[in-house]
């Protein structure tokens, strides 16, 4: 297959088009993904998440530099939100990374969420496979600016960075479930600002309350100072980069990497099942107008959503229900 060869040869244009075809659900793209799946599994995938404006893109830019110094090739997937009103999107993450635009060892691709709620795009899993098959050593996945709940990155990354900044709330935030639980590494960014020390202490207290198994990994809390002071910034990023590699080594040496891979694989299978079981049924319901008729019935309170979906399941999933 032509496309498959190009991807394996690292052809950027072909790869970007394939990612686009995945985003647009082009049937041939699925076929290509089936083939390249067998050439994946070599890249280290690092997720970078945190609230809007926390400094994720700037940190990604620094990590690209640090990885290039180690002679590693880099793929970046940068996700920004799609408008729920117009379907349009402004993808502005790569602004911070443009010094690497011409480096053939770096491939940066922006993705819009297109309605996905977990902080990523639905296409991100396959886009990671594409970059992996291209032979990228490390893939940095930047999520949208997240709130408390967008944790889907854990289904894709070996290492998750949660980027926090001072002044976003009191210690109660550190007690909450969700994003504060998923970090393998905490990054306190803009650490030259007031409140950075307090934030660090709160994170430490939070981690002290978390049970860590004997051979477990306690998420380090790293600070990154002002990015306009290049020397300090670079030093902080270097330290972060070291921790990322250490975390990966830890996953490998403690056999925890199997758990991560299992979680990722389970997620992928779930998604694939959804798209091959649920989507065809939905397509039929939409194209026959049945879905609209069901909505009408519900509006008139003639029936309820549960009964309707059971009816659909009986009709289309014979033998299961």
Partner 1 sequence: MTERKIRIMVAKPGLDGHDRGARVLARCFRDAGFEVIYTGCHQTPAQIAASAMQEDVDVVGLSCLSGAHRYLFPQVVQLLREKGADDITVIGGGIIPEQDFQKLYDAGIKAIFTPGSTLDSIVDWVKKNIKPVE
Selected binder of partner 1 within 20, 68, 72, 250 (CB under 8 A): 20
Q: How far apart are CA 38 and CA 7, in angstroms?
A: 13
17 binds partner 1 (CB under 8 A): yes
Shortest spacing between CB 25 and partner 1, in angstroms: 5
Total number of residues binding partner 1 (CB under 8 A)? 29
- Cα end-to-end span (Å), the chain: 40
CB nearer partner 1, residue 95 or residue 295: 95
Residue 296 DSSP symbol:
H
* Member of 10, 12, 137, 281 binding partner 1 (CB under 8 A): 12
Cβ nearer to partner 1, comparing 274 with 314:
274
Burial of 105 (0-12, 13-18, 19+ CB in 10 A): middle
112 binds partner 1 (CB under 8 A): yes
Measured from the CB atom, is 57 or 223 closer to partner 1?
57
CB-CB contact of 62 with 34 (8 Å): no
Answer yes or no: are the C-beta atoms of 225 and 197 closer than 8 Å: no
Instruction: Report the run of H or E that residue 257 belongs to, with start and end.
Output: helix 257-273
Work out how close the CB of 89 gets to partner 1 at its nearest, in angstroms, rounded to a whole number: 5
Quick one: which of 3, 7, 19, 130 contacts partner 1 (CB under 8 A)? 19
Query: Are residues 239 and 63 in contact, defined by beta-carbon separation less than 8 angstroms?
Result: no
Contact string 228-267 vs partner 1 (x = CB under 8 A) = ----------------------------------------
* Alpha-carbon span 101 to 195, nearest angstrom: 35
For the window 60-99, what string marks contact with partner 1 as x by the rule CB under 8 A?
----------------------xx--xxxxxxx-xx--x-
Strand order in the sheet with 185-188: 106-112, 74-80, 138-145, 44-50, 159-164, 185-188, 221-223
Of 27 and 319, the one with the shorter C-beta distance to partner 1 is 27
Cβ(145)–Cβ(50) below 8 Å: yes
Residue 25 makes contact with partner 1 by CB under 8 A: yes
53 binds partner 1 (CB under 8 A): no
Q: Binding to partner 1 by residue 283, rule CB under 8 A?
A: no
Q: Give whole-number Cα distances, 262 to 134, 150, 244, in Å.
A: 23, 20, 20
DSSP 275: I
Closer Cβ to partner 1, 2 or 194, answer by number: 2
Calculate the CA dihedral of residues 35, 36, 39, 44 and round it to 10 degrees. Answer: -150
Binding residues (CB under 8 A) for partner 1: these are 12-13, 16-17, 19-20, 24-27, 82-83, 86-92, 94-95, 98, 101-102, 107-110, 112
């Amino acid at each position: 297959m032509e496309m498959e060869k190009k991807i394996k040869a690292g052809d950027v244009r072909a790869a970007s088009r394939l990612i686009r075809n995945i985003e647009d659900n082009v049937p041939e793209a699925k076929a290509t993904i089936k083939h390249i799946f067998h050439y994946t599994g070599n890249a280290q995938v690092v997720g970078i998440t945190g609230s809007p404006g926390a400094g994720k893109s700037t940190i990604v830019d620094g990590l690209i530099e640090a990885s290039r110094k180690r002679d590693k090739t880099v793929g970046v997937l940068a996700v920004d939100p799609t408008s729920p009103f117009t379907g349009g999107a402004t993808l502005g993450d790569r602004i911070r990374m443009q010094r690497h635009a011409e480096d053939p060892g770096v491939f940066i691709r922006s993705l819009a969420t297109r309605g996905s709620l977990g902080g990523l795009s639905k296409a991100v899993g396959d886009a990671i496979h594409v970059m992996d098959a291209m032979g990228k050593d490390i893939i940095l996945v930047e999520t949208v600016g997240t709130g408390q709940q967008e944790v889907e990155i854990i289904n894709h990354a070996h290492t998750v960075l949660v980027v926090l900044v001072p002044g976003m709330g009191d210690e109660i935030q550190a007690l909450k479930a969700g994003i504060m639980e998923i970090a393998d590494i905490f990054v306190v960014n803009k650490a030259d600002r007031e409140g950075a020390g307090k934030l660090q202490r709160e994170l430490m207290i939070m981690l002290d309350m978390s049970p860590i198994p004997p051979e477990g990994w306690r998420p380090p809390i790293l600070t990154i100072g002002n990015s306009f002071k290049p020397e300090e910034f670079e030093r902080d990023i270097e330290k972060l980069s070291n921790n990322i590699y250490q975390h990966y080594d830890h996953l490998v040496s403690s056999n925890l990497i199997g758990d991560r891979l299992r979680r990722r694989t389970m997620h992928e299978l779930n998604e694939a099942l959804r798209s091959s079981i649920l989507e065809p049924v939905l397509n039929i319901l939409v194209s026959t107008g049945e879905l609209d008729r069901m909505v009408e019935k519900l509006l008139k309170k003639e029936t309820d959503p549960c009964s309707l979906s059971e009816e659909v399941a009986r009709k289309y999933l014979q033998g299961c229900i």
